[in-house]
Amino acid sequence: MKAAARRTVGRPLVAYERRGLRPELSVVMPVYNVAEYLPAALDSVLGQTLRNLEVIAVDDSSTDGCLDILRDYERRDPRVRVLTQPNSGQGPARNRAVALARGEFLTFVDSDDTVPPEAFEYMVRRLRESGSDFSVGSVRRLRNNEFIRTVWARTVHARDRIGVTLEEFPNAMQDIIACNRMFKTSFWREQVGDFRGHIAYEDHVPMLTAYVRAKRFDVLNHVTYNWRIRENKTSTGQQKARLENLLDRIAVKEEAHELLRAEASDFVYDVWVGRTLEVDFPPFIQHALSGPDSYRNLLAATYRTYLERASERALDLVTVRQKVRGHLAAQERWAEIQEADTWFDDVGLVPPAHASDGTVVADPQPTLGFWRDLPEACARLSPLECHFEGVLSRAAFTPSRCTVTGWAVRRALAVRETPALEAWLESPSGERSEVDVRPVQLPEANLWGEQRFAPYDLGGFEVGVDLDALPAGTWHLHVATTYAGVRSEGTLTNRMRFSPVAHASGTTTAAGKAVGRWDAGHGFTLDVVHAPKRPWTPRRSPVEVRGVELGEETLTVVSDAEVSVGNPRVQLPLVAREGDRHTFSLFHETITGARKVVPTARYGVTAGGVSATAEAGFAGTLPTFHHGALVNLDVGVTPEHAVTLAVEAPLPPLTRGASGKRRLRDAYKTMDVEPENAAALTCYRGEFCTDSQLAIDRGLADRYPEVVRYWGVRDWSTEVPEGAVPLLLDSEEWYRALASARFVSHNIDFGAYFTQRPHQRYLQTFHGYPFKSMGIGFWRSKGLTDEKIARAVFKAKREWDTILVPSEEAANWYREQYALEDTDILVAGYPRCDVLVPGNRWVEADEVRARVLGRLGVPLDKTVVLYAPTYRDKLTTRMFAAQRFDELDLDQLARSLGEDHVVMLRGHNNNQRELDRVTGVARVVDVTDWPDVNELTLAADVAVLDYSSLRFDWALTGKPMVFFVPDLEEYFDQREPLFPYEGTAPGPWARTTADVAEALADLPALRSRFAGDIAAFNARFNAHNDGTATDRVLDWAGSQ
């Protein structure tokens, strides 16, 4: 009857329901006030490749419309069952759903998270293969659109561990969340039971119980869960500042303590105590630093209890940072915790370390007071910081030999000598076969390692395997390395990105004798056969590349096909083709018409739109790393086997990576230099020479032509002003200029390494007009504690000498938001705005317009609309990069405006770091890559803006603006303004594309209607932006 009722409302039955089959999997989802995230969570579950599942969602009396969303999904998909309950918490909600679960397997999904599409099918298959009681998949954190690896994924999920026990792998307890695992339903009901209700962290004890009572469980390398970090800070785990939250954590840990003391070994218990000190209690320390005495006293007492429970073995499992913080908290040395946090923030997650009597310990820091009276155990690095890491780079085959290249190191321990190496192959039965191994230097190891104090390039090896002598079967490669008196060994469970052997589908063959592949549990694996058989090869493109060579000014691709090299932004010009050799220039014509080196980016090799793959012999040499005069070139393959070329700045190989950069920065801090009559300028991350630094450069060239003008650039593609000297950022030459120049200016912070000399004046100009929340207000909105905010303020003020602001009102905002007391504030207006003021002495607006539009191919009689949206946090793809906000329908807008209009699209600086550009839309020109936005401002007749500070600059021209704000409330919910948006947007506000087109339809009327508002706007915000700000800045610099 129920099924018939469902059919009447149009919901299709899935195959298992039509057949009356039991679902393979029950998905339990508690729901409470997550309407913003709930559809994505449900879609990710219902879109799984495993179709035979049921979803039991329990609404916990949500007040934001969640129940309506659930009912809609229930009506549309028969696999969804919705329950409701009075508000009782996640524990009772899960218990109620589990009681009704019909699936053979059981999993939990939180209603603000998502699941990768194939995760459930993969986990069911692996559980059927292993027969274990449950499996635990790897997790990645999800913030906006950016995925972040969890800290414990490095050790817990480094490789597959199938059919293990807690005694065999107690580190599994580092991963204790409920939602990345799949259980046999019978095991859950018989051995685990209910969640506790009315308490936070209710999942910890049930997950620990499962580990303790399982006969066997599986730990998977495969990512099976996307764990969201909520921007609105409303999740249970984000309420740690509350005393009740701390009390709940303590109560749950005491319950776990009793469980383990009763049912687990001393060894397992020690590992768990280490986990409490590493994971469970440290997040509360930052809240104690600014919390009431009741909170501090409770946390200090808790730390004393757990440090008393911790054996030496337990302490050795805790990172140096958390041991230090834990002991300081137990001793109630709260001020010294802040000192320690500042130091650890500067040095990174892993402190500088060395080997002492076979143990890796942190370097002594005698000048740091917080180390006083701490036990020796605090200095010993834990396995989380310091463990064997074997990395597979490439595998090359001949008919009788396999050569494997990679590196083997002890994480955090610098390789400063050639290590003693051993290598062998081991079969699943334990049979061992020794193989040849020799050390090699691999600078690319420093790129992979990301260790500031531990270069790895001397940790490279090359293993040779005689395939004829190797018995048939499966063989896993093991490597042992000994240096600095420390021996480490393991398998190659880490893979170099863009290596052919990095992909689980397999890579290479040798005349049918062997297949090299990467195994999730054992790393690099050889499957050897001696009976004649057809060689296995991966599916390849009809377009194959047999080689890539880097010349002084060219790049050559060897292929029988007529290939091209490029990406959506840049195509490399073909300059010669001789037989199978295609030679491309490393220079191209930029959007401005300049001839420059191709920019840092990843480029593909294609023929007729088909991506090229690497020929088998060539694939065995990849990845390769080439150092050139104009670029560095890394050659590899994607997971789809397509050849990929990564172009970067031509920094010397040993200066690339975290350790090389740290070495140069340390040398810069103490560099002995003669002061130079020079200016060191840079903008953002060196991609463009723009903003106030460009105006200062122009002023210096005009007033002080004898001053050398150095520009820090990302690579040789950056266009620098005439007469200026470009220097690669993070090069030795740049650091020397940064140390010697008498004048330094940047529009973002350099970082903790910046060291101002007595002979220097440093002007921080920032970028954009201060409007959106910043400093203390911004950090507080992101949930930072007072202690973390204080450290952030300290870091900012430590770098700044003098800051430049456009008005006294802005100066007050900076004083308030950064607690400025000693920092000088120069109220002079922004030099970058000088060229926008009508009648200024620097540029002729009509000449700039003619030059820009001429270059873009836009007739001068067209009405030019500049559309310049800011970026959205929710569209962030990685640090300092975001997808373009595309709510404005550019095609519709262009058609509505007609042929006498042209739209110039200018993406935000963060959008410039993504490759997507708008092409193929009539009368729309993407100018995101135009280096100087001021030139676009002068070229356009009207602007469509939103919340960007560009509106403050644009207003100086007196030209009209339209504000496209379809997400006004959402945007300012994410980032509050310093002062109300109303009154700072002098033009019509539009919510739809049609509204924008209507507002632009009569430009003279628009100009007339808002001329007075723009004038008033300029009077308030732009009084000092009068066309002579550059002169005032140079006057200030010259007077110092």
Secondary structure of 408-456 in the HEC alphabet? EEECCCCCCCCCEEEEEEECCCCCEEECEEEEECCCHHHHHHCCCCCCC
Q: What does the pLDDT look like over 83-129, one tens digit per residue?
A: 999 999 999 999 999 999 999 999 999 999 999 999 999 999 999 99
Nearest to 992 by CA among 1015, 970, 1016, 966: 966
Structure tokens at 951: 């509106």
Q: What is the pLDDT of residue 429?
A: 92
Nearest to 55 by CA among 67, 72, 68, 73: 73
Q: If DSSP codes are grouped into helix, strand and coil, which group holds residue 478?
A: strand
Please determine, for residue 506, whether its predicted confidence score (pLDDT) is greater than 60: no
Q: What does the pLDDT look like over 349-404, one tens digit per residue?
A: 899 999 999 999 999 998 999 999 999 999 999 998 999 999 999 998 888 899 99
Structure tokens at 32: 């409470």
- 549, with CB counted inside 10 A (0-12, 13-18, 19+), is middle
| Whole-angstrom distance, CA of residue 862 vs CA of residue 923 | 10
Half-sphere exposure of 532 (CA within 13 A, CB side): 0
In single-letter form, the type of residue at position 34 comes to: V
Give CA angle at 598 (592, 601), nearest 5°. 115
Can you count the helices (H) and strands (E) in the chain?
32, 52
Question: Which ranges in the chain are annotated with CATH 2.60.40?
Answer: 388-528
Q: What does the pLDDT look like over 984-994, one tens digit per residue?
A: 999 999 999 99
Please determine, for residue 655, whether its predicted confidence score (pLDDT) is greater than 50: yes
> Rounded to 5 degrees, what are φ and ψ at 477?
-85, 130
Q: What is the pLDDT of residue 526?
A: 92
| Whole-angstrom distance, CA of residue 290 vs CA of residue 632 | 48
Q: If DSSP codes are grouped into helix, strand and coil, which group holds residue 370?
A: helix
| Whole-angstrom distance, CA of residue 132 vs CA of residue 128 | 8
Question: Which ranges in the chain are annotated with CATH 3.40.50.12580?
Answer: 838-1021
CATH fold of 838-1021 = Rossmann fold (3.40.50)
Please give the full DSSP string across 988-1008, using - where no structure is assigned. -EESSHHHHHHHHS-HHHHHH
- 753, with CB counted inside 10 A (0-12, 13-18, 19+), is middle
Q: Which residues have a Cβ under 8 Å from the Cβ of 648 and sit 6 or more positions away? A: 600, 631, 632, 633, 634, 715
β-pairing, 624-627 with 632-637?
antiparallel
Q: Which residues have a Cβ under 8 Å from the Cβ of 439 and sit 6 or more positions away? A: 418, 419, 421, 458, 460, 461
| Whole-angstrom distance, CA of residue 694 vs CA of residue 832 | 7
| Whole-angstrom distance, CA of residue 241 vs CA of residue 788 | 13
Q: Would you give the DSSP letter of residue 238?
A: G
Are the C-beta atoms of 113 and 31 separated by less than 8 Å? no
Are the C-beta atoms of 363 and 351 separated by less than 8 Å? yes
For the chain, what percent of residues have pLDDT higher than 90? 79
Lowest average pLDDT, out of 333-347, 492-506, 1009-1023, goes to 492-506
Q: If DSSP codes are grouped into helix, strand and coil, which group holds residue 245?
A: helix
pLDDT grade for 504, boundaries at 50, 70 and 90 = very low
Q: What is the pLDDT of residue 20?
A: 59
Q: What is the largest CA-CA distance in the chain?
A: 91
Please state the length of the chain.
Answer: 1040
Are the C-beta atoms of 621 and 484 separated by less than 8 Å? no
**Cα 661 to the center of its chain, rounded Å:** 19
Nearest to 273 by CA among 245, 288, 292, 254: 254
CATH fold of 671-829 = Rossmann fold (3.40.50)
Structure tokens at 302: 């808790």
Are the C-beta atoms of 41 and 32 separated by less than 8 Å? no
| Whole-angstrom distance, CA of residue 374 vs CA of residue 339 | 14
For the chain, what percent of residues have pLDDT higher than 70? 94
pTM of the predicted protein model: 0.84
| Whole-angstrom distance, CA of residue 124 vs CA of residue 108 | 14
Are the C-beta atoms of 185 and 108 separated by less than 8 Å? no
CA-to-CA separations, 1018 to 164, 771, 985, in angstroms, rounded: 69, 15, 11
| Whole-angstrom distance, CA of residue 1024 vs CA of residue 769 | 13
pLDDT grade for 662, boundaries at 50, 70 and 90 = very high
Nearest to 41 by CA among 106, 112, 120: 112
Structure tokens at 258: 């009793």
Are the C-beta atoms of 123 and 135 separated by less than 8 Å? yes
Q: What is the pLDDT of residue 6?
A: 36
**Cα 700 to the center of its chain, rounded Å:** 38
> Rounded to 5 degrees, what are φ and ψ at 721?
-60, 155
Q: What does the pLDDT look like over 20-74, one tens digit per residue?
A: 579 999 999 999 999 999 999 999 999 999 999 999 999 999 999 999 999 999 9
Lowest average pLDDT, out of 134-148, 265-279, 389-403, 694-708, goes to 134-148
What's the average model confidence in pLDDT over 717-744? Answer: 97
- 408, with CB counted inside 10 A (0-12, 13-18, 19+), is buried
Cβ atoms within 10 Å of 840's Cβ, excluding its own:
17
Are the C-beta atoms of 351 and 662 separated by less than 8 Å? no
Nearest to 180 by CA among 127, 119, 128, 130: 119
Lowest average pLDDT, out of 444-448, 760-764, 815-819, 824-828, goes to 444-448
Are the C-beta atoms of 437 and 485 separated by less than 8 Å? no
β-pairing, 161-164 with 80-84?
unpaired
Are the C-beta atoms of 227 and 142 separated by less than 8 Å? yes
- Element housing 855 (H / E): helix 845-856
Q: What is the pLDDT of residue 170?
A: 96
Q: If DSSP codes are grouped into helix, strand and coil, which group holds residue 926?
A: strand
Range 388-528: architecture per CATH: Sandwich (2.60)
CA-to-CA separations, 978 to 143, 747, 765, 769, in angstroms, rounded: 24, 20, 18, 11
> Rounded to 5 degrees, what are φ and ψ at 726?
-80, 140
Question: Which ranges in the chain are annotated with CATH 3.40.50.11820?
Answer: 671-829
Q: Which residues have a Cβ under 8 Å from the Cβ of 970 and sit 6 or more positions away? A: none
Q: What does the pLDDT look like over 919-936, one tens digit per residue?
A: 777 899 999 999 999 999
What's the average model confidence in pLDDT over 655-662? Answer: 90
